Amino acid sequence: MSTKNYNYLIKVEYDGTKFVGWQYQKNGISVQEIIEKTLFKIFKSKIKITGAGRTDKGVHALGQYANFKIDKKIDNEGRFLNSANFFLKKNLISVTNIKKKNYLFNSRYDAKERIYEYKIINRIGSLSIYNNKAWHVKKKLSISLLKKGAKILEGTHDFSTFRASSCSSTSPIKKMNTVRVKKKGDEITIEFKSKSFLQNQVRSMVGSLEYLSCGKWTVEKFKKVFKSKKRSKCAPPAPACGLYLKNVKY
């Protein structure tokens, strides 16, 4: 029986529109499943990959990371990338980088910071280029209110309000390192940096920030909802199509 002595980290980009998410699920095709099938084609053996973040159905990635262990050294990394992308491209998945890591490295548990970005297109005209790639909000959003809300979310808090009922995390307490709001033309991006996130946390926070910035909620109401720790008080979560796993820092 061969031992799997080599551990590799890959950087992955994907359009999550047609997937049930990153992780294997019985009810549809996952990104993980497609990549594992591709690795089987290349190495002729069953290989399990561990992802840095479990993105949900419809969520995209610019910088997802995953590691896998194999019993042979990859001598030609360029050839590996070409082979992998040849099989993956029809699914709108690409492996953009590969790196050899020490045997104990784990892409999920060794992550120091995860960076998510949420994209909103704020205009009346419908989306064509950004269809399924951003949240289309017609009502004018206040950038100053978005920035005020973002500031409130920074730091260490109990994020129970923004947590999915199915979340398996042991604690609702997380440290939000930074929340940054940028606007360019009718495109608004909100970037969230934290070591880890609760299930549905980013989309729930964005949904509540939208309520604040379109005038449905005051700053006081936003604070009150956040501090209530009650999921039932949260605004409807923003759609998955605007969310991107942008990068993971190790």
- Residue 176 has a pLDDT of 98
Could you give the C-alpha distances from 123 to 63, 102, 186, in angstroms and in order? 28, 48, 6
**Mean pLDDT, rounded, for 204-233:** 98
Sign, CA torsion 149/61/235/213: positive
What would the pLDDT profile of 17-71 be if each residue is shown by its tens digit? 999 999 998 899 999 999 999 999 999 999 999 999 989 999 999 999 999 999 9
CA distance 137 to 125: 10
What would the pLDDT profile of 127-172 be if each residue is shown by its tens digit? 999 999 999 999 999 999 999 999 999 999 999 999 999 888 999 9
- Residue 139 has a pLDDT of 97
- Residue 110 has a pLDDT of 98
Is the per-residue pLDDT at 232 higher than 80? yes
Is the per-residue pLDDT at 4 higher than 90? no
Is the per-residue pLDDT at 2 higher than 70? no
Alpha-helical (H) ranges within the chain are 31-43, 77-88, 143-153, 201-213, 219-228
**113-249: which CATH topology?**
Alpha-Beta Plaits (3.30.70)
DSSP labels for 158-206? E-GGG--TT---S-SEEEEEEEEEEEETTEEEEEEEES---TTHHHHHH
- Residue 213 has a pLDDT of 98
Q: How confident is the model at residue 3 (pLDDT cuts 50, 70, 90)?
A: low
Catalytic positions, please? Answer: 56
CATH number belonging to domain 6-101 = 3.30.70.580
Q: What is the mean pLDDT of the chain?
A: 96
pTM of the model: 0.95
Q: Which residues contact 221 (CB under 8 A, 6 or more apart)?
A: 212
Q: Which segments of the chain belong to CATH 3.30.70.660?
A: 113-249
| H/E element, 157 | strand 155-158
Q: Which two tokens stand for residue 146?
A: 């978005």
Q: By the 8 A CB rule, do 160 and 172 touch?
A: yes
**Mean pLDDT, rounded, for 208-218:** 98
**Mean pLDDT, rounded, for 85-90:** 97
Is the per-residue pLDDT at 207 higher than 80? yes
Question: Cα 199 from chain centroid?
Answer: 10
Q: By the 8 A CB rule, do 4 and 71 touch?
A: yes
